[in-house]
Amino acid sequence: MQQEVVPTVIIIGAGPGGLTLYHSLIKNKDKKEFSVKIFERETGPKDRWQGYHIGFASRGIRSLMNCIPSSIALNLPKAIPNPVPDVEYHGASINDHEGNVLMRPPFKQFKDIYEIAEIPDRSLSMTVAYRDRLRDVLLENVPVQWGKRCIGYEETKEGVYVNFEDGSQEFCDILVDASGVNSPVRKQKIPELQINDIGATYVNANVAVPKHLMDRLIKVSGNSLIQKTLGLNGDSTLIALRLIPIEQNQNYNPDEIHYRATIGYFYPSELDNDENENFKVDDNNPASVAEHVKNMIRKLRPKCEMTDILLELWNLAPKAVPNKSDNYYPFKTYNPIQRRKVRDVNPLSINSWKSSRVTLIGDAAHAMSPLLALGTTNAVQDAEALSQALLNYSPENYISCIKEFDDKMLKRATVDVLNSRKVTIKQITPVGYFGLIIRNSILRVTNFLMKVNDFIINVM
């Protein structure tokens, strides 16, 4: 009897989407076996800065748990630490420019990340993960082929030839591109699908916040792990934090506890075109970018305790490669702060999406504004959905498997892309005095209704 040939799946990109897919395909080996190869353009795991805090909704954690083997799940708390009871509030809050809470939807609290995976989707429970450590945890036992930048592919009836910048070529049955927003595969497969500039600019920084400053922040705006403050003139801030002290090395006794936080400042891009502005920001000089953010905060926000706290937080943004002995700096690699445009990709903005041997997951298919923190959640959900669809793979029906995945992915992700875009556009629209009263009232009423709804659901 002729032995069945094991089909090959090639994954491009070792980010959260690509790595989760790898684990899931291997985990399902008993049901359907694939030879899985994963290629990454970076030259090694420590090549590049791996990011700040990222938000994870309960549905994302659930998909992640379904995809990874138990050995990796055991290590997950290193990247997504369990909640600190009575200290952290694992949810998001929207606050006004003074820090007063406008909306803090009721979240079902949980004791560990395994429990959050069980929480129904209608609950807005979420947590904050350390992206750099998540990458490390997911890399375990994955034979990534480093230094391999994909530049394109050729699809034939028999399979796909994948081309790399170093001149090499690989053959596979299914090509999955998980290479993020600038995906070369998307540009080739669907050239008409454009990256959309939402009209917002943002600056992000990793900071180590001393306890006295964190205490002031919590006093003013509460202990939600994801906190937004809405300004009056189209500017807003996003802070993602964990109230877990940064580990210090044993020989070092810091005078004060510090915490990891990610701070982000968003504003309408058109404000950068102000000809009357005296200060010219230089994106190649992080000190100038930090000064620019502080100038904007001073210009766009009234003086108050929240404004002072924001200015102090931006003082902490590293302006040069941190000194090796700087124990307060908790991130492995340094990424100079820069202004960036908020961009997204709406996969349903084109007339038709043709399913073939080449498919896309994560940001490659549907990059979204970071304001709702749903990018990683969707990438991981894609990985689960694709690995499930591929369980039915056969050389005859591969198209229906990919189509099943594409349909599911497009439906879910498009909603999140468009919601994230809508929220971003709303936030960069200046409201004026009366608009402010209306906006804040709407948010407060919505908050009240969400609480009533949650109460009813819990009682019934």
Ligand X SMILES: Cc1cc2nc3c(=O)[nH]c(=O)nc-3n(C[C@H](O)[C@H](O)[C@H](O)COP(=O)(O)OP(=O)(O)OC[C@H]3O[C@@H](n4cnc5c(N)ncnc54)[C@H](O)[C@@H]3O)c2cc1C
Positions that interact with ligand X (CB under 6 A): 12-18, 39-42, 48-52, 54, 131, 149-150, 178-180, 184, 362-364, 370, 373, 375-376, 379
CA nearest to 266, candidates 300, 236, 302, 304? 236
CB 116, min distance to ligand X, A: 18
- Which residue, 220 or 263, is less far from ligand X as judged by CB? 263
- Which residue, 106 or 184, is less far from ligand X as judged by CB? 184
State both tokens at 39. 């290629």
CA angle 183, 188, 191 (to 5 degrees): 95
CB 175, min distance to ligand X, A: 12
Residue 269 and residue 201 in contact, taking contact as beta carbons nearer than 8 Å:
yes
- Which residue, 194 or 441, is less far from ligand X as judged by CB? 194
CB 27, min distance to ligand X, A: 18
Torsion angle of C-alpha atoms 149, 130, 141, 10, degrees rounded to 10: -30
- Which residue, 173 or 416, is less far from ligand X as judged by CB? 416
Residue 130 and residue 53 in contact, taking contact as beta carbons nearer than 8 Å:
yes
Which of helix, strand or coil describes residue 171? strand
Q: Find where tokens 């701070």 sit.
A: 263
How many angstroms separate the CA atoms of 227 and 101, rounded?
10
Q: Which residues contact 16 (CB under 8 A, 6 or more apart)?
A: 131, 134, 135, 138, 362, 376, 379, 380
Residue 389 and residue 404 in contact, taking contact as beta carbons nearer than 8 Å:
yes
State both tokens at 89. 């509030």
Residue 189 and residue 402 in contact, taking contact as beta carbons nearer than 8 Å:
no
CB 11, min distance to ligand X, A: 9
Q: Find where tokens 């209704």 sit.
A: 449
Q: What are residue 205's DSSP bridge partners?
A: 263
Q: Find where tokens 């210009």 sit.
A: 299
CB 53, min distance to ligand X, A: 6
- Which residue, 402 or 409, is less far from ligand X as judged by CB? 409
- Which residue, 153 or 353, is less far from ligand X as judged by CB? 153
- Which residue, 55 or 234, is less far from ligand X as judged by CB? 55
CA nearest to 130, candidates 236, 214, 206, 213? 206
Taking the mean position of all CA atoms in its chain, how far away is CA 148?
A: 24
- Which residue, 116 or 300, is less far from ligand X as judged by CB? 116
CB 420, min distance to ligand X, A: 11
CB 322, min distance to ligand X, A: 17
Q: What are residue 89's DSSP bridge partners?
A: 224
State both tokens at 147. 């230094």
CB 432, min distance to ligand X, A: 31
CB 211, min distance to ligand X, A: 23
- Which residue, 67 or 300, is less far from ligand X as judged by CB? 67
CA angle 387, 390, 391 (to 5 degrees): 95
